[in-house]
Amino acid sequence: CKTKVYPDELPNTSVVIVFHNEAWSTLLRTVYSVINRSPHYLLSEVILVDDASERDFLKLTLENYVKNLEVPVKIIRMEERSGLIRARLRGAAASKGQVITFLDAHCECTLGWLEPLLARIKEDRKTVVCPIIDVISDDTFEYMAGSDMTYGGFNWKLNFRWYPVPQREMDRRKGDRTLPVRYVDHIFQRITCVFL
């Protein structure tokens, strides 16, 4: 993505981050990576959706802390534990950005993470994009780079799994790792995933 040139006029985004009893350091590491590694003109807001956390530091302490951040940060509280999807839908309903970006509460954005995603959406508003996802280890808090050689999907038991991108798809992309992965599985032939 470093050699790609992206349009100057990209849609702005609301970044929605759902958390439940997340560690303070991990949650803030995610929030700061969004703020520090995104052009501020592209960040409409960051929305933190608390899925009924019980930890005291995620209440008033967090509210007071985010008031001083460089971009608007809104906290939405779910009254009862509702799960990831309902919490994301609540965040989406409250968003003001032209695009909604969902992130886990324990990930880290790298420089240039946002522009490729928004550029694909600008090309086609019906596109759903997913970056190569880097994670923070839950054992050591170490940053671990993701891979574009896999895609996320569900097996017949509806368990989420990582699957290898077929070699024919890697060959079609001819080394351009920013091109969409078009063929995922025979069941999902019409799905276009974009890994940037």
| Res. 77 pLDDT band, cuts 50 70 90 | very high
**Domain match, 116 and 167 both:** no
More confident residue, 188 or 42: 42
Looking at the structure, tell me whether residues 116 and 158 fall in a common domain: no
Assigned domain for 193 exists: no
Least confident of 62-76, 123-137, 162-176, 179-193: 179-193
pLDDT digits over 1-29, tens only? 667 888 889 999 999 999 999 999 999 99
pLDDT for 149: 78
**Which pLDDT score, from 0 to 100, does residue 185 have?**
52
Q: What percent of the chain has pLDDT over 70?
A: 89
So what's the pLDDT on residue 184?
53
Q: Which range (30-39, 60-69, 160-169) has the least confidence? A: 160-169
Looking at the structure, tell me whether residues 132 and 174 fall in a common domain: no
**55 and 138 inside one domain:** yes
pLDDT of residue 151: 76
Domain membership of residue 4 (yes or no) is no
Is 137 found in the same domain as 45? yes
pTM recorded for the entire structure: 0.81
Residue numbers of the domain that contains 167: 147-188
Query: Does residue 85 sit in the same domain as residue 129?
Result: yes
Q: Is residue 6 part of a domain?
A: no
Highest mean pLDDT among 34-43, 124-133, 156-165, 168-177: 34-43
Average pLDDT over residues 62-88: 97
CB-CB contact of 36 with 67 (8 Å): no
93-107 pLDDT tens trace = 999 999 999 999 988
Residue range 118-137, pLDDT digits in tens: 999 999 888 888 777 666 67
Among the listed residues 102, 90, 118, the one whose alpha carbon sits nearest the alpha carbon of residue 8: 118
On whether both 26 and 104 belong to a single domain, the answer is yes
How would you class 168 by CB atoms within 10 Å of its CB: exposed for 0-12, middle for 13-18, buried for 19 or more?
Answer: exposed
**Residue 85 predicted with pLDDT over 90:** yes
Residue among 112, 125, 82 nearest 178 (CA): 112
In degrees and rounded to multiples of 5, residue 70 shows phi and psi of -70, -20
- Does residue 79 sit within a domain? yes
Q: Indicate the average pLDDT of the chain.
A: 86
Same domain, 105 and 174: no
**Interatomic CA distance for residues 112 and 33, integer angstroms:** 11
